[in-house]
Structure 1
Amino acid sequence: MMCKLLRCWLVALVTASCSFGVHAAAAEQYPVRSIRLVVPYPAGGGTDITSRLIAPRLAESMGQQVVVDNRPGADSIIGTEIVAKAAPDGYTIMMATMAFGANPALYSKLPYDSQKDFVPATLVAIVPMVLTVHPSVPARSVRALIALAKARPGSLNVASGGPGSANQLAAELFKSMTATNMVNVQYKGGALQVVALLSGEVSMGFSTISSALPHYRSGKLIPLSITTSKRNSVLPEVPTVAESGVPGYEFFEWQGVVVPAGTPKMVVDKLYKEVIKALANPDVKERIVGLGMEVMGSTPQQLAAHIDAEVVRWKKVTKEAGIKAD
């Protein structure tokens, strides 16, 4: 009986060793076929554009086709679920965004766990936003805006793109950190928000640089501050929210590559290095910056820490503001 058990154990050990060897060899040879880069948003948006800028460079460097696969719907949940359930072999990867860290706070139940079902590879880019006011608002600085909001609680309204949208979360974080009361007015998408700002229908909003820059130049909208921790090269004269009287305030949308949990570390490291190489390409870098973004290129560990912090932060902010998307 003991001999039989020993034989079974040895067979299992040899089988496991062979299996490990096969997986290790596959990881070393990666990639040997085309890679699917899932974008959980429609074609033409910022995340799609970034992905399509990087994909050809990855393909050129790695010797295999990188196909951008748009899988939009349900605030990125549909595409994200597809990747969560894909084989962890590096041939299905995703360009995640801020929703990846915010959705756990916005939805009561998700078909995946952002922190357990994925492995981060690298933070690709961040998208600063600008605290913008209509010229009719008698405030030309963040300090003056806060003073106005506190002197007349509820008199200012702030545009957002709907429950859980980036500009709503930016606004709720601002309200929380400044202890101000502003009325949230929801619109279906960022474009309608800018239209509402231009007409004076709303007092203020948080806009991406690319969507509002022409209106800053024409004087139709006033940029008060930028939401990142440092000033932006496109609007160098605009101070940050933090240096304008709200220390510690920092907000940005982001884009980063993630893969299914269980993907071999060798594959994750390969993807990380290849994306960094693609981002270093002058043409890619110039075009991303031209979209009002900042090129990043973090380590997998840095992106993992960022996602963990995002989940914690948005659970706190959405709970305080009573925001739910479902």
Structure 2
Amino acid sequence: MSTLRTLLLAALGALLACASAQAEYPDKQITMVVCFPAGGGTDIAARLVNIPLGEALGKPVVIENRGGAGGNIAIAAVKRLPADGYTLLVCSSAYVVNPSLYAQAAYDPLKDFIPVMVMGASPNVFVVPTQSEIKSMKEFIEKAKASGGKMNWTSPGAGTTPQLAGELLKLRTGIQMQHIPFPGAGPATNAVLAGQVDLYTANIGSVQGLIDGGKVRPIAVTAKKRWAPLPDVPTLEELGIKDADSDTFQAVYVAAGTPQPIVDRLVKELTIILARPDTREKFDKIGLPVVAEGPDMFRKRVEREVPMFKEIIDKAGLKIQ
């Protein structure tokens, strides 16, 4: 009986300690581990919320950039740390892509993390050089089919969501075109401006300035509905190309096992921050409109996109060792 009593008291003590820790959360600095180096879209999105989040929580929220392996280094690092809410993972759509793309991605996107909040998302856009004779996606598809696979296209890099959007276009329309790889958005953009490629798939935020300046011609977007800054550019679905919408999102996660009250607190504060007009204006300026998808919608997104990207990657034969 004394042994049972001791065990019960120990269990009660542990529960009380856990409840106390949650009630006091946070009582120290919180770290946002960003999947990519400073200056990129994921980093900028994190820096738009870390200071106001720290103010709301009463403790500093600092940024730690852990780039490398397409985001896998940061993801693996956060997975190994205690699930106590003091380390937040900030990652792009790479989170749902990497398990299928990288042979060494050592995490399960459906089990190892709790989706907290999709901060913002923007679709991809298909553009052609202004000197191109192609004026629409319909014309491009017709020409690609007639060329017998001789037409080419490019994207910001291997395994990026813009490349996968292009692969999805091929999959849904049956066209063949050669992907010309470039080491990043800069060289790829230069090739488009020089008229060296037939089609460029990019995140809208990265080419909006080129579109506004008349340097490239947009022919379709991958959004579910038309993009407000490009009201005359049709969606793929409008063109009869079904199940081809995709976007690039930036989101916050915590490790699986993080106490629910802590998750709820983070969701609450991020929702308030993302609803502020000044925050929305800042996100709009970087081409990443606020969507503020909470845990339920975010989880459904992950459950939908993981198999979608796996299908694309497997059929395109894309794999990084």
Distance in 1, Cα, partners of 2:280 & 2:317: 39
Distance in 2, Cα, partners of 1:99 & 1:81: 13
Partner of 1:311: 306
SS in 2 for 1:249: coil
Q: Aligned letter for 1:49?
A: I
Partner of 2:50: 55
Partner of 1:21: 16
Candidates 71, 84, 88, aligned match of 2:83: 88
Q: Normalising by structure 1, what TM-score?
A: 0.94
Q: Is the Cα–Cα contact under 8 Å of residues 153 and 181 in structure 1 kept in the other structure?
A: yes
Distance in 2, Cα, partners of 1:13 & 1:109: 43
Distance in 2, Cα, partners of 1:101 & 1:136: 36
Partner of 2:73: 78
Q: Aligned letter for 1:11?
A: T
Q: CA deviation at 1:161?
A: 3.0
Partner of 1:197: 192
Q: Is the Cα–Cα contact under 8 Å of residues 80 and 94 in structure 1 kept in the other structure?
A: yes
1:27-42 equivalent positions in 2, closer than 5 A: 27-42=22-37
Distance in 1, Cα, partners of 2:187 & 2:306: 28
Candidates 256, 273, 287, aligned match of 1:278: 273
Partner of 1:10: 5
Distance in 1, Cα, partners of 2:187 & 2:240: 29
Partner of 1:232: 227
Candidates 155, 158, 169, aligned match of 1:160: 155
Unaligned 5+ segments in structure 2 are none
Q: Is the Cα–Cα contact under 8 Å of residues 128 and 219 in structure 2 kept in the other structure?
A: yes
Pairing 1:215–2:174 present? no
Candidates 292, 296, 304, aligned match of 1:301: 296
Q: CA deviation at 1:252?
A: 0.5
Q: Deviations over 1:72-113 (max 9, x none)?
A: 111111111111111111000011211111001011232322
Distance in 2, Cα, partners of 1:286 & 1:156: 39
Size of the aligned set, in residue pairs, is 321
Pairing 1:177–2:172 present? yes
Task: Report % sequence identity.
Answer: 35
Pairing 1:263–2:258 present? yes
Q: Is the Cα–Cα contact under 8 Å of residues 206 and 287 in structure 2 kept in the other structure?
A: no
Unaligned 5+ segments in structure 1 are 1-5
Q: Is the Cα–Cα contact under 8 Å of residues 122 and 205 in structure 2 kept in the other structure?
A: no
Q: Is the Cα–Cα contact under 8 Å of residues 157 and 185 in structure 2 kept in the other structure?
A: no
Partner of 1:324: 319
Q: Is the Cα–Cα contact under 8 Å of residues 93 and 257 in structure 1 kept in the other structure?
A: yes
SS in 2 for 1:87: coil
Pairing 1:131–2:131 present? no
Q: Is the Cα–Cα contact under 8 Å of residues 42 and 48 in structure 1 kept in the other structure?
A: yes
Q: Is the Cα–Cα contact under 8 Å of residues 142 and 245 in structure 1 kept in the other structure?
A: no
Distance in 2, Cα, partners of 1:73 & 1:13: 46
Q: Is the Cα–Cα contact under 8 Å of residues 149 and 178 in structure 2 kept in the other structure?
A: yes
